[in-house]
């Protein structure tokens, strides 16, 4: 007998499903309980956000705004919970105003996190309409459903503004947390619209697990889920940004602010792999008599000189170019899509500007320094990045021997008879400065 024929099939017991349905049918979720739960969840998320902001005092990233938004949301829902036990001006007008205000502060928190401008004028106009819609209901001029419709649409607009900001920022930088946050906020906007449309049909004081009341069940249960989900998504975005900033810092030299040697070659190889990464120039620079600066003024003066030169290089290069600290007091520039004349202009400008610098030392004194540079342009696809750097480095060596404080062009190399089959990916090692040795500050 085959194994397939010998297998016994167990039919599902219909009594299990019937028992679950009977259990659910006996449950009743009243509105005050759900409203209080959302308020409590908002309070918990507020405390969590404020605690995280306290742990990151150097960078707020919108955490305090998010904590304030959740605290405001908690206040609004706690006032809603007191409906029937407190004046309607508090439990309806003020409560709904606080809920709208919380969504506005959420938009501001997202803007601060994404380093974008908060659309205050749009938010003020839209939310003023939402708040004013509560007055006719409070005075008995309109049914409550009309106010629910206006308030829900106002919330939908606020959620949509946040979702749009996050989505725009996500297109600039891949962000899984941003995708999650935008999805949650977009769902909140759609749910608010549906809640507003349903509110036109009347209000219900009790929410039961009944097919006829599923829209109210969805609005309150999803409200609790959205409170937690949007907060967790926001905190995930904060963590993501913090990770990106740490990675960016690791790629930068702490003294000069330029790329580290490893990061420079990684970025350069990435540029060469691009379709347009064929033509470029290289400028190699070195501070003249840097060892004497360290010996005469101390290593703190050397550090200050390196830091000032790093700022000078950043000011005289395009954002698309790559500038890195090659080693010690030596720096390297990769000028994208650059001609030999352009490389010469950049090198001469940096040499001339360096000679005019006055370095203010920690002890109050000043010093001046000069710069030597060598520059080269890629001669063709047969020449690797390392070969161009070596030619520029040799030109820098020639500038040193020619008297320093000058920029010299690299000599061209003869074209090879055949293209090499492989390239060495290793970066050329740095060269020590003039006789006597060189010290990095």
- Tens of pLDDT along the chain (441 residues) come to 443 444 444 454 555 555 544 544 555 566 777 888 899 999 999 999 999 988 887 777 899 999 999 999 999 999 988 888 888 889 888 999 999 999 999 999 999 999 899 999 999 999 998 888 887 777 777 777 778 888 889 999 999 999 999 998 876 567 888 899 999 999 999 988 888 887 776 544 433 333 345 555 567 778 888 999 999 999 999 998 888 888 888 899 989 999 999 999 999 999 998 888 888 999 999 999 999 999 998 999 999 999 999 999 999 889 899 999 998 899 999 999 989 999 999 999 999 999 999 999 888 888 999 999 999 999 888 889 999 999 999 999 999 999 999 999 998 876 555 544 444 444 444 444 443 333 333
pLDDT of residue 27: 53
CATH of domain 261-409: 3.30.70.270
426 touches 386 (CB < 8 A)? yes
pLDDT of residue 263: 93
Supply φ then ψ for residue 42, to 5 degrees.
-65, -40
Q: Which CATH number fits domain 24-250: 1.20.1070, 1.20.140, 1.25.40, 1.20.1260?
A: 1.20.1070
CA separation (Å) from 47 to 43, 68, 108? 6, 9, 18
Q: Using alpha carbons, select from 221, 161, 147 the residue that is nearest to residue 191.
A: 221
Query: Rounded distance, CA 179 to CA 163, Å?
Result: 9
395 touches 410 (CB < 8 A)? yes
What pTM, to 2 d.p., does this model score? 0.68
Question: Half-sphere exposure of 103 toward its Cβ, with a 13 Å CA cutoff?
Answer: 31
pLDDT of residue 324: 95
pLDDT of residue 4: 42
pLDDT of residue 60: 79
231 touches 105 (CB < 8 A)? no
pLDDT of residue 164: 93
pLDDT of residue 208: 35
pLDDT of residue 171: 60
pLDDT of residue 13: 53
């Amino acid at each position: 007998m085959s194994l397939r024929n010998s297998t016994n099939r167990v039919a599902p017991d219909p009594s299990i499903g019937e028992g679950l349905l009977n259990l659910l049918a006996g449950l009743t979720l009243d509105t005050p309980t759900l409203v209080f739960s959302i308020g409590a969840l908002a309070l918990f998320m507020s405390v969590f956000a404020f605690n995280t902001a306290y742990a990151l005092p150097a960078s707020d990233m919108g955490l305090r705004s998010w904590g304030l938004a959740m605290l405001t949301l908690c206040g609004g829902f706690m006032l809603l919970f007191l409906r029937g036990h407190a004046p309607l001006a508090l439990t309806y007008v003020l409560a709904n105003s606080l809920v709208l205000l919380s969504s506005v502060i959420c938009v501001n928190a997202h803007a601060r996190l994404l380093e974008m401008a908060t659309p205050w004028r749009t938010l003020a106009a839209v939310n003023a309409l939402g708040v004013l819609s509560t007055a006719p209901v409070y005075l008995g001029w309109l049914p409550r459903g009309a106010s629910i419709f206006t308030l829900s649409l106002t919330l939908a607009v606020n959620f949509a503004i946040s979702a749009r900001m996050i989505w725009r920022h996500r297109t600039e930088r891949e962000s899984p947390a941003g995708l999650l946050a935008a999805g949650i906020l977009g769902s909140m906007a759609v749910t608010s619209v549906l809640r507003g449309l349903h509110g036109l049909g009347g209000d219900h004081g009790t929410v039961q697990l009944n097919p006829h009341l599923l829209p109210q069940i969805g609005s309150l249960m999803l409200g609790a889920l959205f409170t937690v989900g949007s907060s967790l998504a926001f905190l995930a975005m904060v963590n993501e940004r913090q990770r990106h900033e740490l990675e960016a810092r690791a790629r930068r030299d702490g003294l000069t602010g330029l790329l580290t040697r490893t990061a420079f070659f990684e970025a350069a190889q990435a540029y060469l792999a691009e379709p347009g990464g064929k033509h470029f120039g290289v400028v190699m620079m070195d501070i003249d008599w840097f060892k004497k600066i360290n010996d005469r003024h101390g290593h703190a003066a050397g550090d200050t000189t390196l830091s000032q030169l790093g700022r000078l290089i950043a000011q005289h290069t395009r954002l698309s170019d790559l500038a890195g600290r090659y080693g010690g007091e030596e720096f390297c520039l990769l000028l994208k899509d650059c001609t030999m004349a352009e490389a010469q202009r950049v090198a001469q400008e940096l040499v001339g500007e360096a000679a005019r610098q006055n370095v203010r030392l920690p002890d109050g004194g000043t010093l001046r320094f000069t710069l030597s540079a060598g520059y080269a342009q890629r001669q063709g696809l047969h020449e690797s990045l390392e070969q161009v750097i070596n030619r520029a480095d040799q030109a820098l060596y020639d500038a040193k021997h020619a008297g320093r404080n000058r920029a010299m062009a690299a000599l061209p190399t003869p074209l090879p008879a055949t293209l090499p089959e492989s390239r060495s990916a290793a970066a050329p090692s740095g060269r020590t400065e003039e006789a006597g040795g060189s010290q990095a500050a």
